[in-house]
Structure 1
């Protein structure tokens, strides 16, 4: 049960009255964040942004200081801007969403004049590199979705510059899903200047009362015999390539990642002048293309597979050319094309239509999100749902896939405003977005990443009970990916509990 203080509104001259409630766990996390650069791991929908807002107010006590809040996508940046506006009694003129679309000379003026800057890390990195931005006066750097702070992502670079330049630095990192291993979480902390970790899980006593219930249902899909026939042909060729790679000394080749790692190693050896590596590279290239083709057939369907094969026919690499000239692969392509011409689709499509049709008939005001990993699948789902009475679908895809940042924001706004009731999205819709009114999320396929799995689930049930439906095609990569994500998520929970007990970085 929540105590009395959980129900009281937070009072502050810069917070709008009767607007913000501060729960006990938020107070505890905020107390740490005031003193140290903090990583806040908190389940989706439990007030990470609220903690950032209150820490920003605390840091604003430092004279002439500024706040910089970063997020990986423009829609998410825009969302944070709107949330700060919603809760704070601060002139809108002091806040600015900054994008690369704003001309450089104007960006420089914005940095000087505005108090709150909301941006994507790429824009900030570019302006730091070209010296349009200096971080001297920024007293708080908020890194949303901080699990990105690995490898060559922009966050580590920005943190380094921030700690070098800022007169009085403070960093707050936010995520619901930092990753499965202690090593990865430590890497994130090291890359982000983190000094303290505040972890809460859904099982924690001070959090569990606030977690919204989610109903999860798994829908098992049978792969049609016509699909299995094509799969058997491709499997035969794939196994042959793997066998040849193993005969060259490669041992562990169970997953696509294993083959990709082998390919990277062989490419490195080839660059050093090892001519024997070229044969292995050739085979690995073919194996990856075959594995991808089988995966598309099993989990996405003929239309998506045909799109991939169209690209493969234009592939200039030796591996690609040799593959499309293999008689067995040509036979698989012929069978696939025949099914495509007949209008054959993956059985997931008809199941999806049935679920959405029933949902809208039963509850006409329903809001539905469909997650699919491939743009071609998103398009196919969109075109099919347009034929359903009272279904008003819209696609949310990334910039590379054809939607500008402004269009992405407009799509989310229109979905929230009931212009559309079915949002079909690629991975851009998975992360952080507060699509509060979604009743159902349908995963067109499971994803093997524990981070993406948690992010997808977080898009529903923020203000009421939400339902999640996961499509799993029997005896395919869908099953393997589902169990991989479950295992990784279990490992992540154990890691977080262990780190929480030790309270170590």
Structure 2
């Protein structure tokens, strides 16, 4: 393996908390180590474990899986949640590390990928448990290549690694082992797939890292309800489809086998040692007595939707769903129909609350509606006339329904929430230090349910909630520090109920978690397996609370049949001979690689025909209102950031400063950036400053999906394009010029707008 000196882009990294001059290793003589028992013996003696400095004895079923991987080469480890996949991976890392030290005594490097940053530190702690390995986490403000020289194992999100792989600041021939946690995500455009595209297409070397995938479920990812039902009704089709998806996953990961626990005595040990929920139920709730109260608010919301839709030009049908409204908004943005853009935002907000009527307290929904209406309206200094009319009318109508609903016994709650509250009290009182998860589909649910439990005085000393959602939620968000704080409080027991979106469905490890309740939340069969596995404590419980006969109720029944499909696929896999598996996998992989190459060639053709932004007559504007921000020719990029230089920054945007500035590595964040149009004031980014570029003064980071690009053709006509991310733009962007020397800097600096890569 090449040494770290081959890194194309060398970074300077100062390790503060780790003394690199002192050895963390207790094994002194690797040359004399006997690794044959590790590879072949079903029992590892205490003396042998001591020689290898392994403090915690692995279970026999874990040893079986470790040896299966060693014998098979690149493999996927399929094992139920909570059974120690990370510990198995850590022992395998240590094995390959010891083997290399024994044979060559050269530098060793593993990258361990986690799909979510929220479980990064948890995995670091688990891997360090095997001893002798320097394990470091690539934090939010660092790049993955900064840790290469100082680590045996780098734990990071896949995008961090992919960025370095693409810009060649990390080379695959530096790496011994790649581990993909929750590897079932390796499909489509996920960063896992993009890493493997680099591995199989662009980095075909004599030395390639070994690969290990970890998963509790090799799902088939069918989402079309018609296809799911069609497949489930045909046993042969179901079996073949599941097996084909397993081939696709293995071929994409370049894995030769899926290893599972096979020996009967080890299966018995697994079932005995690793707790599974003893109570696994779908709790279907009948809310008939509540319907009369829902209908009052439902009728009001539908009347408001009809009223707002009639004010749009052209008018919008009240019966369309949230996805269709999103498309209508997109069309309005392209056509510069600012009125419709504003009104459709109100309609989307109302549709979301309409869907939540049977799940959340009426008071909470009404208060949230009022809050959102005011938020939309008050952030504008001079709202357009129709928005003023809509704002006043909606508030008047919503407030009028409040007085009527206050008389209802269900104004502060509803039957489903009453049932959930009683169930929570029952579960918490069953054991000391009980803790559990409530998984929900939307950030709206997480926040309003948190408020609901907090406001109930009668359960204040029983249910101690916290909530956790991503930082990019539409309705509500948690910052990274807020996410960390919520997880820390939950793990310590300061909170005993964590209400969260699916940000914690994969990978969160809290051994004390004694119950998981999905509240009107059904994703797919993988989600069901993953969420069930979060209930780790002995005699734990796993529930789905859902309206009887609802879409989610039916979907869960289908999902549980899909679980059976996954097991059938694994059983079928074990019956196929190794030679036949190899042939089948090669055929599937050839097809995947060919598809990647075709897509890459098409992308290259498109890029080669992209017009130079320096020669395009075009402009950049706010997507919502078409407020002018600058010319396309002004755009520059630096790493993953994009800039527009201009002298009249304050005339085109408004900055809403934070009370305290925030520092993220070389970026200093001052506040939010709002559209300069007083009738719009859309939140379009963050005011920032590069601390390592004093020649650039105040900058503003804007999000690509908040922008609109207009191009003028040869006939003088403008064409509008909108992109979700900068990688998709259809014009070439030039790199930011290097800083000028101090004696050539102009007296007066230009201000700059920075547009981030997403």
TMscore range, shorter length: 0.7 to 0.9
For the 8 Å contact 1:219–1:472, the answer to whether it is kept is yes
Q: Which residue of 2 aligns with 1:44?
A: 81
Aligned-partner Cα distance in 2 for 1:311–1:480: 32
For the 8 Å contact 2:137–2:156, the answer to whether it is kept is yes
Aligned-partner Cα distance in 1 for 2:361–2:568: 36
Q: Which residue of 1 aligns with 2:132?
A: 90
Change in CA separation of 1:170 and 1:442 when aligned onto 2, cut-off 3 Å:
same
Aligned-partner Cα distance in 2 for 1:109–1:40: 29
Shift of 1:156: 1.4
Q: Which residue of 1 aligns with 2:524?
A: 449
Aligned-partner Cα distance in 2 for 1:57–1:113: 16
Change in CA separation of 1:412 and 1:208 when aligned onto 2, cut-off 3 Å:
farther
SS at the partner of 2:513? coil
For the 8 Å contact 2:76–2:250, the answer to whether it is kept is yes
**The structure with more strand, counted as a fraction of residues:** 2
Aligned-partner Cα distance in 2 for 1:366–1:8: 36
Q: Which residue of 2 aligns with 1:351?
A: 419
Q: Which residue of 2 aligns with 1:399?
A: 471
Change in CA separation of 1:487 and 1:56 when aligned onto 2, cut-off 3 Å:
same
Q: Which residue of 1 aligns with 2:196?
A: 159
SS at the partner of 2:137? strand
Change in CA separation of 1:426 and 1:304 when aligned onto 2, cut-off 3 Å:
farther
For the 8 Å contact 1:304–1:376, the answer to whether it is kept is no
Shift of 1:13: 4.0
For the 8 Å contact 2:359–2:417, the answer to whether it is kept is no
Q: Residues 464-483 of structure 1, C-alpha deviation per residue, up to 9 Å, x if partnerless?
A: 12012321223433323322
Larger Rg: 2
SS at the partner of 1:297? coil
Q: Which one of 246, 254, 279 corresponds to residue 185 of structure 1?
A: 246
Shift of 1:308: 7.3
Q: Which one of 541, 546, 560 corresponds to residue 472 of structure 1?
A: 546
Q: Which residue of 2 aligns with 1:216?
A: 280
Q: Which residue of 2 aligns with 1:380?
A: 448
For the 8 Å contact 2:284–2:545, the answer to whether it is kept is yes
Aligned-partner Cα distance in 2 for 1:29–1:200: 10
Q: Highest relative contact order (Cα 8 Å, sep 6+), 1 or 2?
A: 1
Question: In terms of mean alpha carbon deviation, does 396-405 or 229-238 score higher?
Answer: 229-238
Q: Residues 357-388 of structure 1, C-alpha deviation per residue, up to 9 Å, x if partnerless?
A: 34444534222222222222222222233342
Shift of 1:210: 1.9
Q: Which residue of 1 aligns with 2:112?
A: 69
Q: Which residue of 2 aligns with 1:174?
A: 214
Shift of 1:219: 5.1
Residues 58-457 of structure 1 aligned to structure 2 (within 5 Å):
58-60=95-97, 61-62=99-100, 63-86=106-129, 88-90=130-132, 94-102=134-142, 104=143, 107-163=144-200, 164=203, 167-180=207-220, 182=242, 183-199=244-260, 206-211=266-271, 212-214=275-277, 215-217=279-281, 218=283, 220-222=285-287, 224=290, 225-228=292-295, 295-300=355-360, 302=362, 303-304=364-365, 307=368, 339=405, 343-386=411-454, 387=457, 388-400=460-472, 402-457=477-532
Aligned-partner Cα distance in 1 for 2:264–2:449: 39
Q: Which residue of 2 aligns with 1:491?
A: 565
Change in CA separation of 1:190 and 1:393 when aligned onto 2, cut-off 3 Å:
same
Change in CA separation of 1:299 and 1:33 when aligned onto 2, cut-off 3 Å:
farther
For the 8 Å contact 2:437–2:499, the answer to whether it is kept is yes
Change in CA separation of 1:310 and 1:149 when aligned onto 2, cut-off 3 Å:
farther
For the 8 Å contact 2:490–2:498, the answer to whether it is kept is yes
Aligned-partner Cα distance in 2 for 1:204–1:220: 40
Change in CA separation of 1:205 and 1:199 when aligned onto 2, cut-off 3 Å:
same
Q: Which residue of 2 aligns with 1:246?
A: none
Q: Residues 390-409 of structure 1, C-alpha deviation per residue, up to 9 Å, x if partnerless?
A: 43222222232533445434
Shift of 1:32: 3.3
Shift of 1:431: 0.8
**How does the TM-score come out when normalised to structure 2?**
0.52
Aligned-partner Cα distance in 2 for 1:54–1:293: 49
Note the residue ranges of structure 2 that are not aligned, 5 or more in a row. 1-40, 101-105, 222-241, 306-319, 335-344, 378-386, 586-758
Change in CA separation of 1:493 and 1:19 when aligned onto 2, cut-off 3 Å:
closer
Shift of 1:27: 1.7
Q: Does 1:31 align with 2:68?
A: yes
**How does the TM-score come out when normalised to structure 1?**
0.76
Shift of 1:43: 1.2
Aligned-partner Cα distance in 2 for 1:334–1:101: 49
Aligned-partner Cα distance in 1 for 2:116–2:137: 12
Q: Residues 313-364 of structure 1, C-alpha deviation per residue, up to 9 Å, x if partnerless?
A: 969xxxxx9xx99x9xx99997589648984434332222222234444534
Aligned-partner Cα distance in 2 for 1:186–1:307: 47
**The structure with more helix, counted as a fraction of residues:** 1
Shift of 1:292: 5.4
Change in CA separation of 1:233 and 1:204 when aligned onto 2, cut-off 3 Å:
farther
Change in CA separation of 1:153 and 1:311 when aligned onto 2, cut-off 3 Å:
farther
SS at the partner of 1:441? strand
Aligned-partner Cα distance in 2 for 1:66–1:396: 33
Aligned-partner Cα distance in 2 for 1:393–1:501: 48
Aligned-partner Cα distance in 1 for 2:450–2:166: 41
